Amino acid sequence: MILAWVHDVVEGVRSCLTGMRTTGHYLLENLRGSGGATAITREYPEQPAERVGARQRGHLVNDAPRCIVCHACDTACPVDCFTMDGERDADNKMRASRFDIDLSKCIYCGLCVRACPTDSLSMTPAFEVDPRHDGSRFLFRRSSGQLGQRLDAPDVERLQRLADQPRESLAAADRAWLDQHIDPNGPHLIGMYGLGYFTPEQKQAADAAREAKKRAKEAAAAAAKAKAAAAAAPPPAPPPPAGGTP
């Protein structure tokens, strides 16, 4: 019994020391600056952000030419952040004349991307949205009353053109038009680049990624088809190869 007690105490002390050795190691590492927080942590607002991961869900992007205004994303969205309108083009196909994503509502769940049948919706890894800085060129604010106003493709282009210039240098008519359609203090933050909602570079990157994905998918489908064909081909004609090979 005494031996058991001694063993208890010794083991207890030993396991405590083992734990403390581990944490002490971290502590020293951190103090020396050779590991731990000093090596891993990035102080984000001061230091530039890094890509968090390949599957990060950042800005929501609509590639307007592909969009068929099927409202699948609208149905899937749990927070109702889409407002869209469509019209028939020359080939009698539906295309988006308006596609607003209210970024102040979006929860970045990605359900719309899954629902999209044409892969026109996607999410880029970029996540910095700061209307005070660069982002103000790509985003605008609307008041609740303005949400119902339609912004068609030409309007969006006009908005984009106007937003690049300082407000003071605008013509009176343009300024009035701006005031009618956007409100700098409004609660709703809407993306603005074309009918997709991001910078040109991001748009290119997203397009490239989507293309690559699509090609990979097609290649995989083709490979699967070829394999299926190869697998399906032998059974109908087993005798000839069996007879021919020996």
The binding site for another protein (CB under 8 A) comprises 1-12, 16, 19-20, 22-24, 26-27, 29-31, 35-38, 40-41, 43
Shortest distance (Å) from residue 54 CB to another protein? 24
Residue closer to another protein, measured from CB, 27 or 220: 27
Q: Which is nearer to another protein, 1 or 54 (CB)?
A: 1
Query: What SS3 class is residue 206?
Result: helix
Q: What stretches of 33-124 adopt beta strand conformation (E)?
A: 60-62, 82-88, 94-101, 121-123
Residues belonging to the chain: 246
In terms of CB distance, is 2 or 54 closer to another protein? Answer: 2
Distance in Å, CB of 217 to another protein, minimum? 40
Q: How far is the CB of 190 from another protein (least distance, A)?
A: 33
Encode burial over 175-201: b for 16+ CB neighbours within 10 A, e otherwise: eebbeebbbeebebbbbbbbbbbbbee
Q: In the complex with another protein, which residue's Cβ is closer, 24 or 200?
A: 24
Torsion angles phi and psi, residue 96, rounded to 5: -75, 130
In whole angstroms, what is the distance from residue 31 CA to residue 93 CA? 64
CB of 52 to another protein, least distance (A): 18
